[in-house]
Amino acid sequence: GENVEQHPSTLSVQEGDSAVIKCTYSDSASNYFPWYKQELGKRPQLIIDIRSNVGEKKDQRIAVTLNKTAKHFSLHITETQPEDSAVYFCAASRDSSASKIIFGSGTRLSIRP
């Protein structure tokens, strides 16, 4: 069945440094890749997304890249700040209907002051 693998499971970076989280997906029909941020005890929040017809998308300090051939996509956070500490989930879906999203297993990002 469809699967999304995410790594690393935990990541600790110095404040101001960059953080990179990587995901791979198995369903070649996936064409939409959202990223969610979930702070402890709170709801997941959609922070950025990318569609399969785009290779890269940037929003301020956050960028996502997609390699459809390799079925890889990544989240890049630059100039990390303490408020970036959270669990980040990648996900993959086919955007053809109100269908299920397959989430990655999550990356717990900690920003060291």
Per CB under 8 A, residues contacting another protein are: 32, 34, 42-46, 49, 89, 91, 93-106
Closer residue to another protein (CB): 39 or 79: 39
Q: Using an 8 Å Cβ cutoff, are 103 and 4 in contact? A: yes
Separation of alpha carbons 82 and 111, rounded Å: 5
Helices (H), strands (E): how many in the chain? 0, 11
Separation of alpha carbons 113 and 100, rounded Å: 37
Least CB distance from residue 73 to another protein, whole Å? 14
Least CB distance from residue 106 to another protein, whole Å? 5
Closer residue to another protein (CB): 26 or 105: 105
Least CB distance from residue 104 to another protein, whole Å? 7
Closer residue to another protein (CB): 22 or 78: 22
Least CB distance from residue 81 to another protein, whole Å? 23
Q: How many CB atoms lie within 10 A of CB 12?
A: 12
Residue 88: CA atoms inside 13 Å, Cβ hemisphere, count?
A: 30
Closer residue to another protein (CB): 78 or 110: 110
